[in-house]
């Protein structure tokens, strides 16, 4: 999985490419630990994310809990497969998905 970060004054955009699963989620978790300290909004661009498993969802949930107290977090450009996962897991009710 590729993790591409773009930062401006208001937010950090994290573009994810490939699969976010048990193999790749630890890398994202490590990246996010540094980013969530900055207290900016985090935007996850999921246009090129092919799949997200429970390991990936756990990382997003963890980031969501931290960012809810600071700058907030949102998810953009989810494809149909990823959106289906958000819906059947109920994460669409928890996360801010645009």
Residue ranges that bind another protein, judged by CB under 8 A: 21-22, 25, 51, 53-55, 57-58, 61, 85, 87-91, 93-94
Token duo for residue 84: 């289906």
Decide whether 70 or 89 has the Cβ nearer to another protein: 89
Decide whether 35 or 94 has the Cβ nearer to another protein: 94
d(CA 95, CA 75): 8
Scan for tokens 């900016």, then name that residue: 40
CB neighbourhood size of 84 (10 A): 12
Least distance between another protein and beta carbon 63 (Å): 13
């Amino acid at each position: 999985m590729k993790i591409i970060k773009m930062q401006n004054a208001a937010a950090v955009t994290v573009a994810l490419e490939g699969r976010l699963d048990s193999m790749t989620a630890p890398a994202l978790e490590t990246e996010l630990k540094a980013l969530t300290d900055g207290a900016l909004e985090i935007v996850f661009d999921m246009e090129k994310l092919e799949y997200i498993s429970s390991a990936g969802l756990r990382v997003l949930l963890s980031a969501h809990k931290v960012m809810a107290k600071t700058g907030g977090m949102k998810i953009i450009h989810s494809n149909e497969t990823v959106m289906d996962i958000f819906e059947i897991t109920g994460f669409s009710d928890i996360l801010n998905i645009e």
